[in-house]
Structure 1
Amino acid sequence: MGLAWQQGPLSGRAVGRFLLPQPMPERLLFAERLRRRMRVRFGGEWIADSEDVLLLHEPGRYPVAYFPLASVREGALVSTTRTTRHRELGDTTWFTVEAGGGYAERAAWEHTGPPAHADEFEGRVAFAWRAMDAFYEEDERIVGHAADPYHRIDIRRATRHLRVLDGDRVVADTTRPLALYESGFAPRWYVPPEDVDMAALTPADGQTFCPYKGLAGYYDIGSRTGAAWSYPEAWPEVARISGFISFEPDKVDVFLDGARLRLEPGQTVVPHGLDRGLDVDEITKPLT
């Protein structure tokens, strides 16, 4: 999922490999200019605004945005006595963030002694994502984490024959599925609800949030819990799958052109929590 997350090339669990004679380092960090204007809001006020944001890709983590200290509102960062050490970037100083009556402890940090090969982090600060009110690119809110420019979703129309069985019961049968290709994942197949026996699906408790697709609801199929899911109102970029249903091949029998699908290694998704101040109603609508 992106460059350093899930099965991305720098994640430590890459689905592919670099063609080198010697093994890659166990951990490899990558930093790049975001080349987008990014802003941070806290306490109802703008506390950071920059077109010179540095994005850090660290194995097994979402991208993190670092702002020049000069782009941070004066007085928003309050020094604390807390210090830690990052294994690659060195000593780290932590700040309390204050603005507009808001107060968040240990909500920002600066690597105060980066090594020479990472000196672009000097004089930069990052903000804890969920501790802030919101992050924006230009005037549009982004959620979940800093946008990963290496994460991509493509949706393709198909005429392949997809069947879903619960024992002898046919749960879905279609020749018009949508194939969803997402960075770091094997293809997922989405079925039009008209081609699903909805009586076989029982809405399940709980929802998960994807920063790229929106809010997903789940279904049980007989005794198979969470065997199917759907994005009732997927975000505009992936609106084609709204209301379509996908099935988990390790929980229910899914056949594509007669071949049974299996859950591939690394396919399991790590649930992503909601951002601070972001409720379910807001997620199901275009963000502004």
Structure 2
Amino acid sequence: MGLSWQQGPLSTGAIGHFLTPEPLPRRLLFAERLRRRMRVKFNGTWIADSEDVVLLHEPDRYPVAYFPRADVGERALVAGGKVTHHKDLGDTTWFAVRSGDRTTERAAWEFTALPGYATDLQGRIAFAWRAMDAFYEEDERIPGHAADQYHRIDIRNTSRTLEVRLGDTAVARSEHPVVLYESGFAPRWYVPRADIDEMWLRPVEGQTFCPYKGLCDYYDIGDARRAAWSYRDAYQEVGRVGGMVSFEPDQVEVLLDGKRLELEAGQHVVPHGVDRALDANEVRAA
């Protein structure tokens, strides 16, 4: 989630609000120096490498990294004459990106008529994420989008009892589930597989991808479609839920200490943003 995406504080669907005497502008953009070395690879070549990246958070979009022109390869950008207009940041000049025998049109852009309040982005280049081979922080590939510094995940053990039922059928019962708190989202409860009657979990085709947790597998339970999911190979940072299973409270009956959980604000996840899809193929290509 982070600052501007999903239910973040700068998104149009924010579940919280700023306590101010006057209404804030409908759209707030936030730019901040990343303070991490970021690199871009295209056609097997490093075309950008910088420790002075600025991250732009724009409502309802993934964060975007902007590189100083001096840190972009001299021959990587090819002017194409295409100019569009950004509602907040003015004229946008587009470039093809070239390396060796490969050229991709409209793969990078620069704001060339910035208003006075947005000079942080002056002389900076952004690259279309999926048009590049990959983005890296130091030597580690960053799939999905630039990492949002304001996205946080905390996982906590609990002694509360969680039960999952489908009609009169007990699908799971655990006295030691874990709860995953993720910025802006409702809590998600994960159950060890030893506490699940796995005969009710029917794997289905199609995975989704979370830049913070990894590839997600889904299960039907009876007639309830995609009623459960699991990060079988969860990223190390969230390894405590790796292989565990979570259940959708609007698809099956989920009870926490006897109280049924309901779908709440921040529980529905938008699968991808207007920027582009986040799909599993991007991770498999790593």
4+ runs of 1 displaced by more than 3 Å?
Answer: 272-279
Task: Please identify, of 206-215 and 272-281, the stretch whose mean Cα deviation from structure 2 is larger.
Answer: 272-281
- Helix, strand or coil for the counterpart of 1:254? strand
For residue 22 of structure 1, report the CA deviation from its aligned partner. Answer: 1.6
For residue 271 of structure 1, report the CA deviation from its aligned partner. Answer: 2.1
> What is the percent sequence identity of the aligned residues?
65
For residue 2 of structure 1, report the CA deviation from its aligned partner. Answer: 0.4
Determine if the alignment matches structure 1 residue 67 to structure 2 residue 71: no
Q: Unaligned 5+ residue runs, structure 2?
A: none
For residue 277 of structure 1, report the CA deviation from its aligned partner. Answer: 7.6
- What's the counterpart of residue 231 of structure 1? 231
- What's the counterpart of residue 203 of structure 2? 203
* Partners of 1:177 and 1:192 within 8 A in 2: yes
Per-residue CA deviation, residues 169-223 of structure 1 (Å, 9 max, x unaligned), is 0001001001000001010000000000100111111110000000000000111
AA aligned to 1:171 is V
Partner Cα distance (1:78, 1:276) in 2: 30
Q: What is the root-mean-square deviation in Å for CA atoms of aligned residues?
A: 1.4
AA aligned to 2:44 is G
Out of 275, 278, 284, which is 1:280 matched to? 284
For 1:84-233, list aligned pairs within 5 A: 84-233=84-233
Q: Unaligned 5+ residue runs, structure 1?
A: 283-288
TM-score (norm 2): 0.96
- What's the counterpart of residue 245 of structure 2? 245
For residue 153 of structure 1, report the CA deviation from its aligned partner. Answer: 0.5
* Partners of 1:84 and 1:92 within 8 A in 2: yes
* Partners of 2:186 and 2:266 within 8 A in 1: no
- What's the counterpart of residue 42 of structure 2? 42
Partner Cα distance (1:164, 1:279) in 2: 31
For residue 3 of structure 1, report the CA deviation from its aligned partner. Answer: 0.6
AA aligned to 1:134 is A
Distance 1:276 1:48, change over 3 A: farther
* Partners of 2:143 and 2:283 within 8 A in 1: no
- Helix, strand or coil for the counterpart of 2:114? coil
Partner Cα distance (1:132, 1:168) in 2: 51
Task: Please identify, of 108-117 and 5-14, the stretch whose mean Cα deviation from structure 2 is larger.
Answer: 5-14
- What's the counterpart of residue 267 of structure 2? 267
Partner Cα distance (1:233, 1:97) in 2: 34
- Helix, strand or coil for the counterpart of 1:184? coil
Partner Cα distance (2:63, 2:283) in 1: 23
